[in-house]
Amino acid sequence: MQYAVLGGFCVAAMAPLLYRWFGARTAGVMALLPAAIAAWLMAQWPTIAGGGTLWREWAWVPGLDITLTFMIDGLAWLFAMLITVIGTLVLIYSGEYLHGHRDLPRFLVVITAFMMSMLGLVLADNLVALFVFWELTSITSYLLIGFNHTDPVARKSAQQGLFVTVGGGLALLAGFVMLALAGESWSLAELTERGEQLKAHALYAPLLVCVLLGAFTKSAQFPFHFWLPNAMAAPTPVSAYLHSATMVKAGIYLLARLHPALGGTEAWVVTLSLVGALTMASGAFLAIQHTNIKKLLAYSTVMALGTLTMLLGIGTETALAAFVVFLLGHSLYKGALFMVAGILDHETGTKEVTAMGGLRHAMPRTALVTVVAALSLAGLPPLVGFIGKESMLESLLAAEHHRAVILPMAFFAAFLTLAVAAIVAIRPFFGGWRETPRTPHEPPGGMLAGPALLAALSLLFGLAPGLLDSLVGVTVAGIGAPQAEVHLALWHGLNLPLVLSLASLVLGALVFRRWDRLRSWLARLEPLMARGPEAGYEASMRGLTRVAEWQTRFLQNGYIRNYLVMTLLVLLGLVGHALLMRQTPNLTFALDLYLHEALVAGLMVAGAVAACVMRSRLAAVAAVGVMGYSIALTFVLFSAPDLAITQLLVETLTVILLVLVLFRLPRFATLSTPIERLRDLVVAGLSGGLITLLMLAVLSGDRLPRISDYMVANSQPLGHGHNIVNVILVDFRALDTLGEMFVLALAAIGVYAMLRFHAEEYEARNASRIWRGDNG
């Protein structure tokens, strides 16, 4: 299984090559990959249906307890199946939709990579692996929303989607760390068995907040819903796949997966059901204000995501069963409807439903598919959407918390959704014929096959819901109701949910009839809408830019003296704090000093003082050199030849470098005010004092075990060397040295680039005046 996913990334990378071989048929060829995975999953169905779980162990970073183990239970199977089947159809569809597009290979690379990331996300058992795949879906989604990168709207929407989902991803990371700490495991399978321990843990509240933030941003829950409709700037296959059927359900998947571990508490139930209900209602309400078919569908996706969250919040057996049916039904009809939206856009050249009409004559087959899928969206019999909606209403009637709030909202959402379905199915295809920018006719078979199959499945599962019993049963078992007996049926008898459905049918029809007038009335709410959550996002982005500008002016101003002061102050604050908190400074020390040692120390101090007061740079450099050589002498006196040699050489080379630099500096001048110099004096004095205290603490402390004893004892037996310094550098602490090598190399490249570009600029300025030939 891991080979399939990781290999899938390789296939994604090979898309440009495949495009060279297969040309326009590449998308179809690449669709074989998800199709094969789907077939494999189908072959595993007997095991899954028997309540079994497939494990594929794979160590990744064993030292950190991070694995790439895949686990396929009912929930994972359902999601993996949706991802691969709809993925196959979307790939075939996009081959036609983007036919002849010059960036088709790039599109295939990203969408296949997304598919594999999503697959990894739902199969991963390890929190870290899940998080990695989670972020990969955010990044690929960003690339896909911004696919038309010449369009500023697409770029802005892509950035918005990325910021919202990745921001939530950061919260999720924190949540996962806390989850692993509280549950003492990184494995989801183990965590779901430790629900009691997690819920009783002190970290439960903060970890729940973080995990929910991650899931809510990803799944476009209120107030983070605004990025999803904007993501419709992506090509339509992307909207059909990422932003309705799969990626936005990642958050829902996570909530479902963690339901046994975290669910059932009051915080969980109240937050999820209220946020979900609010999202559901606001999604449905916002949908009917739009005439762009993709926006209509996007807001109805927001509504569906809210419904799913709400059902997880309620968490009873019926609610969980409704959750699974609704999830499946939504993926089927919404995938189909988005693909139809793409067909309409492709064939008519417009996305406005008000600009289309009477298309059933030109595209009868498309019309049929649309009507079937829209019936499912509306929640009308005999489609799977009806079963989903009925069981949703049934579980709401039995809900324990906030029924009085949730039920009206669900009813409100239900009739508005019905109106949306009617708008999408009736407006473009029925009524009088309208001229559109392009002359419409039936789309190519590859484009219609996907929606047709999905619509047919909606109908099949609606007519024979018994087919779903065992799938819903094992999925619900994975979410936390192991003993659930699920029997889905189209006809439940004349009960309250059916009455509610009938009422919503009437109201929905009314809304559809009055839609145009309703819209113009709602347009008056525009100023209020402009202050919604998206305005908050815009404001925070502006704030971010302002902070960046401020800190660039204040901290990153390019003056090395300011960087130095900042660095020293931070060092003083952190080290000084730690030192004074943990140690009482011991200022008594025995001073037995030989004359030559005192002389060297005096030389050092004199060099330092001289360097500060000299009025000539060359003299200052020499004074610094005197100080450096005195330090080298100290090393010699205390028998550290390696350090002494290094110090001497570094001093020599420093003098050389400084002299070279001095050539290029302007005349010596006093630029700093007395106050600034006083500040520098204070900072320098404090730094010196801190180092002195540090030295005293090190020398007086017996509480710190001496690390050098180990080095001395083991240098020869383990490191095969008598020179301890060298053995430490190249063996015991070789990783540090390796890091330092890279730092040194980067510094050298930085110096080179800085001087070189400066020189080139200079040369470019003089090029017109002097021709010097090739002198590099």
Partner 1 sequence: MVRSGTLILNVAARLLLPLQLMFSLFLLLRGHDEPGGGVIAGLVAAGAFALYLFAYGRRALEAMLKVSPRDLIGVGLLLGVASTLPAWWHGQPFLTAQWWTIPLIEVEASTPLVFDIGVYLVVLGSVLTAIVALVETDDDA
Least CB distance to partner 1 at residue 66 (A): 16
**113 within 8 A of 9, measured Cβ to Cβ:** yes
Least CB distance to partner 1 at residue 174 (A): 29
Spell 171-196 as b/e; 16+ CB within 10 A means b: bbbbbbbbbbebbebbbbeebbebbe
Least CB distance to partner 1 at residue 60 (A): 16
SS3 assignment, position 66 = strand
For partner 1, give the closer residue by CB, 444 or 719.
719
* Residue 53 falls in which region: left (phi positive, over 0), alpha (psi -120 to 50) or beta: beta
Pairing of strands 66-67, 54-56: unpaired
For partner 1, give the closer residue by CB, 153 or 759.
759
Neighbours of 685 (CB within 10 A): 10
Pairing of strands 70-72, 66-67: unpaired
For partner 1, give the closer residue by CB, 599 or 649.
649
For partner 1, give the closer residue by CB, 8 or 628.
628
Least CB distance to partner 1 at residue 748 (A): 4
Radius of gyration of the chain (CA): 34
For partner 1, give the closer residue by CB, 24 or 637.
637
Least CB distance to partner 1 at residue 638 (A): 14
For partner 1, give the closer residue by CB, 149 or 758.
758
For partner 1, give the closer residue by CB, 101 or 733.
733
For partner 1, give the closer residue by CB, 485 or 642.
642
Q: Helices 384-397 and 445-463 meet at what angle, rounded to 10?
A: 50
Q: How far apart are CA 485 and CA 318, in angstroms?
A: 10
Least CB distance to partner 1 at residue 654 (A): 10
Q: Kindly state the tokens that stand for 449.
A: 């096959």
Q: How far apart are CA 321 and CA 324, in angstroms?
A: 5
Least CB distance to partner 1 at residue 729 (A): 6
Q: How far apart are CA 120 and CA 1, in angstroms?
A: 9
Contacts to partner 1 by CB under 8 A: 641-642, 645-646, 649-650, 652-653, 656-657, 660-661, 663-664, 719-723, 725-727, 729-731, 734-735, 737-738, 741-742, 744-745, 747-749, 751-752, 755-756, 758-759, 762-763, 775-776
Q: How far apart are CA 285 and CA 583, in angstroms?
A: 63
Q: How far apart are CA 412 and CA 389, in angstroms?
A: 13
**273 within 8 A of 315, measured Cβ to Cβ:** no
Least CB distance to partner 1 at residue 560 (A): 16
Under DSSP, the state recorded for 102 is: T
Least CB distance to partner 1 at residue 126 (A): 22
For partner 1, give the closer residue by CB, 494 or 665.
665
For partner 1, give the closer residue by CB, 7 or 739.
739
Q: What are phi and psi of 253, to 5 degrees?
A: -60, -45
Please tell me the total number of residues recorded for the chain in this structure: 776
Q: How far apart are CA 354 and CA 346, in angstroms?
A: 16
For partner 1, give the closer residue by CB, 589 or 742.
742
For partner 1, give the closer residue by CB, 493 or 666.
666
Q: How far apart are CA 307 and CA 319, in angstroms?
A: 11
Q: How far apart are CA 415 and CA 513, in angstroms?
A: 13
Least CB distance to partner 1 at residue 657 (A): 6
**168 within 8 A of 217, measured Cβ to Cβ:** yes
Torsion of CA 547, 550, 555, 561, to 10 degrees: 180
SS3 assignment, position 757 = helix
Least CB distance to partner 1 at residue 669 (A): 20
- Give Cβ neighbours of residue 354 (< 8 Å, ≥ 6 apart): 291, 427, 516
Least CB distance to partner 1 at residue 745 (A): 5
SS3 assignment, position 350 = coil
Q: How far apart are CA 108 and CA 241, in angstroms?
A: 13
Under DSSP, the state recorded for 442 is: P
Q: How far apart are CA 587 and CA 113, in angstroms?
A: 63
Least CB distance to partner 1 at residue 740 (A): 9
- Give Cβ neighbours of residue 332 (< 8 Å, ≥ 6 apart): 373, 376, 384, 454, 455, 457, 458, 461
For partner 1, give the closer residue by CB, 54 or 658.
658
Least CB distance to partner 1 at residue 389 (A): 57
Beta bridge partners of 54: 72
For partner 1, give the closer residue by CB, 599 or 749.
749
- CA nearest to 546, candidates 538, 224, 163: 538
Least CB distance to partner 1 at residue 747 (A): 7
Least CB distance to partner 1 at residue 634 (A): 16
Least CB distance to partner 1 at residue 698 (A): 24
Least CB distance to partner 1 at residue 742 (A): 7
Pairing of strands 70-72, 54-56: antiparallel
For partner 1, give the closer residue by CB, 567 or 652.
652
Q: Which amino acid is at 52?
A: G
Q: How far apart are CA 394 and CA 497, in angstroms?
A: 6
For partner 1, give the closer residue by CB, 466 or 750.
750
For partner 1, give the closer residue by CB, 60 or 285.
60
Q: How far is CA 756 from the centre of its chain?
A: 38
Query: If you write DSSP's letter for every residue of 118-160 in order, what string do you get?
Result: HHHHHHB-BHHHHHHHHHHHHHHHHHHHTSSTT-HHHHHHHHH
For partner 1, give the closer residue by CB, 25 or 756.
756
Q: What are phi and psi of 67, to 5 degrees?
A: -120, 165
